Amino acid sequence: MSKEQMYCVKCKKKVMVEAKPVTMKNGRKALTGKCSCGTKVFKMVGNK
């Protein structure tokens, strides 16, 4: 897990979260984590 800056829709600001890599159903890679407010944040990344 690494620290990543992601946008929280509930807080309406960018936050630093502990992100873990995941693979979506269509095969694309993404990062997911939890904001301090408890909302799940998600960031799509390249396929490389």
Q: What is the pLDDT of residues 2-46, one digit of tens each?
A: 898 999 999 999 999 999 999 999 999 999 999 999 999 999 998
Place of tokens 């990062």: 31
Q: What is the pLDDT of residue 48?
A: 62
Q: CA-to-CA distance for 48 and 46, rounded, in angstroms? A: 6
pTM over 0.75: yes
Q: Which residues contact 6 (CB under 8 A, 6 or more apart)?
A: 14, 15, 17, 19, 31, 33, 35, 41, 42, 43
The answer to whether residues 28 and 21 touch, using CB atoms and an 8 Å cutoff, is: no
